[in-house]
Amino acid sequence: MMRPPPGEAWLRRYEEILQQLRVEQRRLRVQTLPTLESPIPAEVGLLGGALTTVLLLKLREALTVIDSFCEQVTMLLQCASIPVRFVYDATSWYELERSVAAPDKDLLATAVVIRRTWQGTAADAYLAAYAVQSVATERLATACRATGDALIDGAEAAQACYAALLVLLLSGAAQLSVAVSAARSVVRLPAAISALGAAIDIFAGVNGLLAATRETFRQKAVGVQATSAPLLDVAVFPGGRWPTSGSPLYADGSVTDGDPSDWSVKRTPWIGPAPAALTADFLDR
């Protein structure tokens, strides 16, 4: 059964995620990073001792990780149109499936009529041709459907990736805000170090997210290949070719010339009334 492609609601939600991602990335670059470059007041640095040293190390690590994260976001935003293209491509594959399947329905209706009302070498040839053509079109339709489904899965996986990316950005930025605030007090230096460590872990999570998304796409590609390759393998057809219609065997419509394309109407044997004596005997019983 064909899956409906994502509609306007999906597209609006996806665009909202992308827009918010752009806004939050800009805020991180313009507001948060400059603040982190010198977040520790001089008096804190003098009094904090070892804690200040640890905080500075964590800060350098955070700046490196955040910069890498922002670069990853920039790269992914450049690919943001691909999921939308997946959706439109899936629609095309589904339309192709319908185009392939529609004639087969007409052929099936014709085959049913012929099977009921016609006989002869032409009828047999037509039904044999229909059988292999039906298998071929069903295989092609199934391959189209599998490709469309995989494209939709890919679009939805990409949307989920961008949504998770936004969660990472918001969560990491929140931890950085805590770190910046806490770093202004000697008493709260441990909290600042803890918040920076949490932010580093969050922003570094982009690598795991991208790895998981790549694996999802890989599995979908392998799945499509595994599904479509056997369906489109013409080796299963007679002579290793897409089955031909064989129309010369049944197409001339003759019924009397004696060639292999003759047709004849199936006639139901007529059963006349039973003899009167037999009927009376049956009724007497």
Domain assignments of the chain as residue spans, ordered by start: 8-246
pLDDT surpassing 60 at residue 269: no
pLDDT confidence of residue 133: 83
Considering only residues 119 and 3, tell me which one the structure prediction assigns the higher pLDDT.
Answer: 119
> Which tokens sit at 22?
């752009």
Report the pLDDT averaged over residues 169-181: 91
Query: Model's pTM, two decimal places?
Result: 0.75
For the chain, percent of residues with pLDDT exceeding 90:
33
Strands (E) in the chain, as ranges, are 118-119, 264-265
CA distance 135 to 117: 23
Give the chain's largest Cα–Cα span. 129
pLDDT confidence of residue 252: 67
Considering only residues 271 and 10, tell me which one the structure prediction assigns the higher pLDDT.
Answer: 10
pLDDT confidence of residue 54: 85
Cβ atoms of residues 173 and 32 within 8 Å: yes
Q: What is the pLDDT of residues 200-250, one digit of tens each?
A: 999 999 999 999 999 988 888 888 888 777 777 777 676 777 787 777 777
pLDDT confidence of residue 256: 65
CA distance 213 to 10: 19
CA distance 138 to 82: 29
Considering only residues 37 and 65, tell me which one the structure prediction assigns the higher pLDDT.
Answer: 65
Average pLDDT score over the chain: 82
pLDDT confidence of residue 285: 46
Cβ atoms of residues 150 and 219 within 8 Å: no
Cβ atoms of residues 115 and 127 within 8 Å: yes
For the chain, percent of residues with pLDDT exceeding 70:
85
Q: Which of 136, 145, 137 is nearest to 234 (CA)?
A: 136
Which region, left, alpha or beta, applies to residue 268 given φ > 0 means left and ψ of -120 to 50 means alpha?
beta
Considering only residues 49 and 67, tell me which one the structure prediction assigns the higher pLDDT.
Answer: 67
Q: What is the pLDDT of residues 66-113, one digit of tens each?
A: 999 999 999 999 999 999 999 999 999 999 888 888 877 777 888 888
CA distance 26 to 246: 66
Q: What is the pLDDT of residues 184-198, one digit of tens each?
A: 777 788 898 899 999
pLDDT confidence of residue 280: 46
Query: What burial class does residue 191 get, using C-beta atoms within 10 Å of its C-beta: 0-12 exposed, 13-18 middle, 19+ buried?
Result: middle
pLDDT surpassing 90 at residue 50: no
pLDDT confidence of residue 130: 84
pLDDT confidence of residue 282: 36
